[in-house]
């Protein structure tokens, strides 16, 4: 029974009679081999190991951002070339910026933290996978002694607005949100297009009171995560100004201190050497959800009925 002195006698009585619940069952589980949540692991392993050709390669300096495009069926690898570093990733449909990564639904469909064969889903009314993870060199990490896991969907990007609130009005222009804003400008996108991220290589969890916590990045030199593009995508990545998060804090002093643990990230985009492999194996770009209803709203009256 709780010893919390803030609880009234009535609350304590209700707490003491609270029934014991059975272990919960995940709300979203694949219902069979043809479920949209079921990934053909044999096929995606074949794609991941197939010979490939490098089409793009670049390295993001510390505390910066960059956007790039990748066609459906390409493989995108993001790696830590010099050691631990967190990266904040945004994804859009290349042809339609309104269709973008939906972190909360992805979290519901898969997990609070992602790894191999999890998918990154788009928002309503599109509801389809934008990317599928096909390789993760940190898949061994699992759940640590503090309950932390890697490749975070619990939190979101750091931003100058919360920094201003928590650092007595100080301004800093190189948070992940700002890095992503600058990165997508060349593609005609605006600040409003930047959205909740997946925090790559970042370890997070909840403490005993349910509060968000972060631990230092476990990545080493050469760790990587790879994605298969399920549609034509625009992606944007920020090298987090917190670096590997071993010195996290707010304010000018913290910003200067955190630079000591900042490192670059590398991005590579590949196409399969065998251009016909995907078609022969039955893979095709993801299609939008088929819902054609009107949300229970009455049909608009025709002109001759108005």
Look at residue 266 and give its three-state secondary structure. Answer: strand
- The owner of tokens 């230092």 is 216
Q: Provide the pLDDT for residue 1.
A: 47
Residue 306: pLDDT above 70?
no
Phi and psi of 231, rounded to 5°? -145, 175
For residues 117 and 44, what is the distance between their CA atoms, to the nearest angstrom? 8
Phi, psi of 109 (to 5 degrees): -75, -30
Structure confidence by residue, pLDDT tens digits, 70-129? 999 999 999 999 999 999 999 999 999 999 999 999 999 999 999 999 999 999 999 999
- What is the pLDDT at residue 74? 98
Q: pTM of this prediction?
A: 0.92
Rounded CA gap, 181 and 131, in Å? 21
How many angstroms separate the CA atoms of 263 and 22, rounded? 45
pLDDT tens column, 105-120: 999 999 999 999 999 9
Helix (H) or strand (E) holding 161: helix 160-166
H or E element, residue 184:
helix 176-184
Residue 271 in contact with residue 74, Cβ under 8 Å? Answer: yes
Compute the distance between CA of residue 144 and CA of residue 213 in angstroms, rounded to an integer: 13
What pLDDT does residue 301 have?
A: 61
Task: Identify the CA nearest to 110 among candidates 133, 91, 87, 93.
Answer: 133
**Predicted local distance difference test score (pLDDT) of residue 3:** 56
pLDDT top residue among 235 and 1: 235
What integer is the mean pLDDT of 258-267? Answer: 94
In the three-class reduction of DSSP (H, G, I as helix; E, B as strand; rest coil), residue 28 is classed as coil
Assess whether pLDDT exceeds 90 at residue 56: yes
């Amino acid at each position: 029974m709780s010893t919390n002195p803030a609880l009234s006698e009535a609350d304590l009585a209700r707490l003491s009679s609270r029934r014991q619940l059975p272990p919960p069952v995940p709300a979203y589980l694949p219902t069979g081999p043809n479920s949209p949540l079921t990934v053909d692991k044999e096929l995606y392993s074949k794609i991941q190991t197939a010979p490939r050709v490098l089409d793009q390669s670049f390295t993001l300096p510390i505390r910066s951002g960059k956007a790039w495009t990748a066609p459906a069926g390409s493989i995108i690898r993001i790696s830590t070339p010099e050691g631990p570093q967190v990266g904040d990733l945004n994804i859009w449909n290349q042809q339609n910026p309104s269709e973008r990564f939906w972190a909360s639904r992805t979290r519901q469909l898969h997990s609070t933290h992602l790894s191999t064969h999890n998918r990154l889903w788009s928002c309503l009314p599109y509801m389809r996978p934008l990317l599928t993870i096909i390789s993760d060199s940190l898949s061994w990490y699992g759940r640590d002694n503090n309950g932390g896991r890697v490749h975070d969907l619990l939190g979101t990007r750091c931003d100058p607005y919360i920094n201003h609130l928590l650092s007595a009005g100080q301004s800093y222009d190189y948070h992940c949100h700002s890095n992503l804003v600058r990165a997508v400008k060349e593609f005609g996108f605006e600040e409003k297009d930047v959205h909740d991220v997946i925090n790559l290589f970042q370890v997070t969890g909840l403490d005993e009171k349910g509060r968000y916590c972060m631990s230092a990045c476990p990545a080493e030199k050469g760790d990587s995560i790879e994605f298969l593009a399920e549609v034509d995508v625009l992606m944007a990545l920020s090298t987090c100004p917190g670096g590997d998060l071993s010195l996290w804090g707010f304010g000018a002093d913290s910003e200067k201190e955190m630079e000591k643990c900042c490192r670059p990230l590398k991005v590579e985009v590949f196409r399969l050497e065998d251009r016909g492999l995907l078609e022969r194996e039955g893979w095709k770009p993801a299609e939008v959800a088929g819902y054609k209803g009107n949300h229970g709203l009455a049909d608009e009256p025709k002109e001759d009925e108005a």
